[in-house]
Amino acid sequence: MRLDLSGRTALVTGSTQGIGRAIAAGLARSGARVGVNGRSAGSVDAAIDRLRAEVDGADLVAVPADVTTDDGAAAALEVLPAVDVLVNNLGIFEATPALEITDAEWRRYFEVNVLAAVRLTRAYLPGMRACGWGRVLYIASDSAVVIPAEMIHYGMTKTALLAVSRGFAKEAAGSGVTVNSVIAGPTHTGGVEDFVYQLVDRDLPWDEAQREFMRRHRPQSLLQRLIEPDEIANLVVYLSSAQASATTGAAVRVDGGYVDSILP
């Protein structure tokens, strides 16, 4: 199967590192023009330099903007007034005991992980419908279904994204635009390494720490290892392609079998 996104423009929020950067690379390899987004011009420029070294001929656009704010979203729209593919990847997470999560943290997690994606969907979906083609994707998590005791505020936001995705898919019904969420399992990123070491002995070498984390905190994983960001990106690229035209309103799992259910 050849996934050709030539002539398409994509915006990937939070794409200077981790899963977002892998998604940007995957879309660029498939021929898309990709907007690389981060909060600062320096981080975006550095990410673009790395991506160009990694992907021959990558067509990349710098989109420095804090899309969690109205002004930041407007700045992104000024650079990319229209896109064919919107990947709402931006998200934050941190382990915090449930009774210690403050009102301010609950609001911050909702605004960053949910409202930023809603705001950009509202901005770009009308143009996609007018063109009769588009892809809107939300990077959710196994935590949407299996709420982790150590970060229920994060799990709440990822559950909300499943509802947002299904709702906007109904708004786009019959238009040629598909809207889906991706349920990503425990993934190996720099941020996750820090998270793992919050929960296991910091003196352990990484390979041992990873195994201990999976054994103690994610024992239901059938993969029995952390997922690599490129493995998430592969599914996102497929869902962004013409070949995924009949998949919409779905929560598609790339979770290593973590969620113990036949359906999401």
User: Which residues form the catalytic set?
Assistant: 154
Q: Where do we find the tokens 């935590």?
A: 143
Residue 232 has pLDDT above 70, yes or no: yes
71 to 67, 112, 120: CA distances (angstroms):
8, 14, 12
Give the strand order in the sheet containing 85-88: 59-64, 33-38, 9-12, 85-88, 134-141, 177-184, 251-254
The closest alpha carbon to 64, from 11, 140, 8, 135, belongs to: 11
pLDDT tens column, 64-113: 999 999 999 999 999 999 999 999 999 999 989 999 999 999 999 999 99
Q: Helix 229-239 crosses helix 18-29 at what angle (to 10 degrees)?
A: 50
Query: Mean per-residue pLDDT for 32-47?
Result: 98
How many CB atoms are located within 10 Å of the residue 192 CB?
A: 19
| Cβ contacts of 4-7, under 8 Å, gap ≥ 24 | 4/30, 4/31, 4/241, 4/242, 5/30, 5/31, 5/32, 5/85, 5/237, 5/240, 5/241, 6/30, 6/31, 6/32, 7/31
The closest alpha carbon to 21, from 66, 53, 67, belongs to: 53
Domain boundaries, the chain: 9-187+229-254, 188-226
Quick one: what percent of the chain has pLDDT higher than 90?
89
Cα 229 → chain centroid:
10
pLDDT tens column, 193-230: 888 998 999 999 998 998 899 999 889 899 988 999 99
Q: Where do we find the tokens 């979906």?
A: 125
CA dist 13 and 26 (Å) reads 14
How many CB atoms are located within 10 Å of the residue 21 CB?
A: 23
pLDDT tens column, 171-195: 999 999 999 999 999 999 887 888 8
Topology (CATH) of 9-187+229-254: Rossmann fold (3.40.50)
Quick one: what percent of the chain has pLDDT higher than 70?
100
Please report which confidence band the pLDDT of residue 261 belongs to, taking 50, 70 and 90 as the band edges.
confident
